[in-house]
Amino acid sequence: GESVGLHLPTLSVQEGDNSIINCAYSNSASDYFIWYKQESGKGPQFIIDIRSNMDKRQGQRVTVLLNKTVKHLSLQIAATQPGDSAVYFCAERGSGKTSYDKVIFGPGTSLSVIP
Amino acid sequence: DTEVTQTPKHLVMGMTNKKSLKCEQHMGHRAMYWYKQKAKKPPELMFVYSYEKLSINESVPSRFSPECPNSSLLNLHLHALQPEDSALYLCASSQSRGRTEGYTFGSGTRLTVV
């Protein structure tokens, strides 16, 4: 797998390798973070989420890491498969009264899996 | 039923037309959302409805008019749109306001304004 820099729009990985997708968030008051996968022609699909009182959460083949010190979020996909090819968005939800309803999306990273 | 259904899937309209987008869910969710997504960009929040009442309008132009006639249905009425309004319009729902766990998106309506 290959780690990408912040805001880098594309990532290509070999099938079977691990992928790491990074995301910077801006609001230090955000209390909840979500990763979404969006395939062509479809709406975003929930992958995994994490609350601000955690620094790691694991799902099936995916792990999300949260570093609140530097406001950084990452999604790790183990043994990447062709079906993982999609655009991945991180999203944050604020904790304040006016932002509690809002899920705000980051710029997205396009993941291409090479067979 | 764990889906959010949006109709139509594709829509082409002229700048003088009036049209409506429809979103439906039968999961008992009480919060519903409209997002706009331009090509190669993230979804941008437009409106939030909570218990059929508009709770957030993200400074959206008045040519977009949302409506929530009941807890299962969300409409977006379109009038006098501009070509730059062409985009994918996504609807989402969640159990309640702030309960973004289980936030479910529809597949969207691809809108082209000519």
Low-confidence ranges of chain B (pLDDT < 50): none
Query: What pLDDT score does A96 carry?
Result: 62
A50-94: per-residue pLDDT in tens? 999 999 999 999 999 999 999 999 999 999 999 999 999 999 887
Q: Which residues of A touch B105 (CB under 8 A)?
A: 43-45
Which residue in chain B has the smallest CA separation from A90? B42
Nearest CA to A37 out of A4, A1, A77, A8 is that of A77
Q: What are phi and psi of B59, to 5 degrees?
A: 55, 45
- Of chain B residues 16-35, which have a CB less than 8 A from chain A? 31, 33
Q: How far apart are CA A61 and CA A77, in angstroms?
A: 6
| Separation in Å, CA of B63 to nearest CA in chain A | 22
Q: How far apart are CA B55 and CA B71, in angstroms?
A: 14
Query: What pLDDT score does A100 carry?
Result: 59
Q: Which residues of B touch A41 (CB under 8 A)?
A: 107
Q: Which residues of A touch B107 (CB under 8 A)?
A: 41-43
- Of chain B residues 63-102, which have a CB less than 8 A from chain A? 90, 92, 97-98, 100-102
Tell me the pLDDT of chain A averaged across its residues.
87
